[in-house]
Every structure is written in C-alpha cells, then in structure tokens.
Structure 1
Amino acid sequence: MEARKITANTESDYTSIVQSASFQKLLSEKKKFIIPITIFFFCFYFALPILTSFSTVLNNKFIGSISWAWVFAFLQFVMTWGLCMLYSKKAAKFDDLAEKVVKEGGKDK
C-alpha cells in the first residue's frame, strides 16, 4: 500500500516539475543551443565525404602539395574541439538552470 503512495507522489512531483516555468526554460535554452550546433556539426562532418566523392572542388592546391581536402579534414578536428569547448562553457548555464529546477521542485515538500 505504501509503495503505491510513494509512486503516486513521485509521479505528481515529476508532473509538477515538468510543467514548471524553470524546467521549460531549461529545455528551451538547451534546444536553442543543441539543435543548431547539431545541424552545423552534421553538415560540416558530411560535407567532406560528399565533396570528395561527388566533386573535385577540394582537389585544388592549398599550399605546395597540400590540397583543400586535407585542410578540410584537419578543420574537422578543430571543429570538434571547438564545439566541445563551446558546449563545456554553455553547460555551466544549463547546470545553473537545472539547479534552479531542483530547488523549486524541493520547495513543495
């Protein structure tokens, strides 16, 4: 009997948290950041194999015997590290918003 009561309380707590303004703000902020960054990542990542497979635009020389394909491939690593650093900095804001959600969720108890 008591297990049902705990489960019911937990479900109602979760429902109130999900419907709270602070939780909705957290989700909104994460979506505004993650969706564009993910689209950029996939476009940049898949551009190299698509361009090298179906065009010769990256075959032109950059410097000496280094072609633009090698430059683009190197930039894949730079892009990955850059996005990781950007997300790490942005995650601090997400953590603050999540902490606010947790604090507001604990007030009702």
Structure 2
Amino acid sequence: MDDQAVRERDARAYEAVYEAADFTELRRRYKNFVVPWTITFMAWYLAYVACCNWARGFMSHRIGDSHINVALIFGLLQFVSTFVIAALYGRFANRKLDPLAHGLNAKYKRERRR
C-alpha cells in the first residue's frame, strides 16, 4: 500500500473517531474535570503568592514555639494539593475516561483495517 493510501485510510479512521458520540462525551468529561480543578488550583496558588507579597505579617506568624510559620505551611500545602489533584485525576480517568478511550481506540483500529 502506498503512502497516500495509508494517509487517506488513517484520515478516515481519525474522522470516524472524531465524529463518534463517545469522543464528544470523552472531551466533555475531561473538560468538566480539568477546568474547575485548574481554576481552583490557580486561585489557591495566586492566593498564596498574594499573601506572601501583601500579608507578610500573617505569613510570618509562627506556629507554636517552633521556627515553622504560616508561609512554610502554605508552601508545603501547594505540593500536597498538587499530588491530591493528580491522584483525583488518576482515579477519575480510570473510572470515567479510560473506558471511553479504550472503546474509541478499538473503533480506530477497526476503521484502519477497512
């Protein structure tokens, strides 16, 4: 099979997947997870940066009798929140995205054989 025929076959297979209702649903589910969590994380991050710049008294407040202050706790919580969101996404993807993606992959492979 020549390159042009392969490209046309692949293009038809991609179009069939793109036009499938499952693909639209996959994109919808992905956006419904990613957009709110991205906005939430960015707001949390910008609040941290803003507090570090303009609420220095609050951020330098020591926790108990230690050298640990609010800024350090907030900074560590940035890492924690990143890992929590990643874990939530992994769980979400396994339950809600992967089944659709596997079906679309099978559809693509079927279309390529035609």
Q: Quick check: TM above 0.5?
A: yes
The Cα of 1:22 is off from its aligned counterpart by 0.7
Scaled by the length of structure 1, what TM-score is found?
0.82
Q: Which piece of structure 1 moves more, 80-89 or 49-58? A: 49-58
Aligned twin of 1:71? 73
1:64 match: secondary structure: coil
- Within 5 Å, give how 1:65-104 maps onto structure 2: 65=66, 66-93=68-95, 94-104=97-107
* Runs of 4+, deviation exceeding 6 Å: none
Aligned twin of 2:54? 54
Scaled by the length of structure 2, what TM-score is found?
0.79
CA-atom RMSD, angstroms? Answer: 2.1
Mapped to 2, the partners of 1:64 and 1:14 lie a distance apart of 62
Mapped to 2, the partners of 1:52 and 1:2 lie a distance apart of 61
Aligned twin of 2:41? 41
Identical counterparts, % of pairs: 26
Per-residue CA deviation, residues 19-63 of structure 1 (Å, 9 max, x unaligned), is 110111111111100111111122212221221102244344443
Q: Which runs of 5+ in 1 are unaligned?
A: none
Q: Which piece of structure 1 moves more, 77-86 or 99-108? A: 99-108
Higher-RCO chain (CA-CA 8 Å, sequence separation at least 6): 2
The Cα of 1:107 is off from its aligned counterpart by 4.1
Q: Which runs of 5+ in 2 are unaligned?
A: none
Letter aligned with residue 76 of structure 1: Q
Aligned residue-pair number: 109
Aligned twin of 1:13? 13
